[in-house]
A = this chain, B = another copy of it.
């Protein structure tokens, strides 16, 4: 059992809030600050089912990647599922803490972990602290890179704009959602490939009709699946014997193969 502050101080020492984007909302977002923590749930997105899981597990803390509150609230009632999540957390004495773009962008954070997992060598950032421009390993091709992504992240069907195999030297990576101005940035940086998610059809088409760059779609959830593992390892190592961390079992990719509908 430790003080909540000990846990949040540790997270902020490795993923400093100064790395968060201006638009972001991070830190302790729900609940009391002075709590004794014996058990904590780690998840990507917190919803009312994760809160239920925390109640059943006897956890006093939930740690999320995506902010538990994003759009500012004018009410805290149970008339929406999001409101229900907050109300039931507070009724049950559960605090919720979020580490989002600071966790993505800080050295050793999620983006660096994705890059490392893919054997890429980072040589710069894409925009501010966001994304990485990387050098590919010697002899890299469209085939070797896409195979490695599928294998390392367990992706069954991976899509790209490649029409034939080709040699690859530089790779831009923005895990999570990398549409908008980042698409143009990837071009400006003269990356051979851009790996990201949440692009619109129009943005993918623009990359396809450009002869100099290709796009590998790593869907938002796929690139962030390792976030919970990373957090778990760092926290478990630091607080072993004091706090019991668990990765949520009720969370899953919001998009599921329709063949699996029971």
Contacts and interface: CB of A to CB of B under 8 A. Distances in A.
B30 A257 contact: no
A240 interface: no
A246 interface: no
Interface string A224-253: 000000000000000000000000000000
A152 interface: no
Interface string A65-99: 01001101111111111100111001101010000
Nearest to A143: B261
Contact of A87 (B32, B80, B179, B200): B32
A91 B66 CA distance: 24
Q: Which among A31, A161, A210 has the highest number of chain B CB atoms within 10 Å?
A: A31
Interface in A125-162: 142-143, 146-147, 150, 156-162
Nearest to A164: B262
Interface in A91-123: 91, 93, 95
A65 to B, nearest CB: 11
Contacts of A217: 255
A190 to B, nearest CB: 14
Contacts of A79: 28, 33
18 contacts: A28-B79, A31-B77, A33-B78, A33-B79, A69-B73, A73-B76, A76-B86, A82-B206, A82-B209, A156-B157, A157-B157, A158-B257, A159-B255, A159-B258, A165-B261, A177-B200, A177-B201, A204-B254
Q: Which 10 pairs from chain A and chain B are nearest by CB?
A: A72-B72, A201-B220, A47-B209, A208-B254, A90-B90, A159-B255, A146-B258, A158-B258, A164-B262, A198-B200
Interface of A: 25, 27-33, 45, 47-49, 66, 69-70, 72-82, 85-87, 90-91, 93, 95, 142-143, 146-147, 150, 156-165, 176-177, 179, 197-198, 200-202, 204-211, 215-217, 219-221, 254-258, 261-262
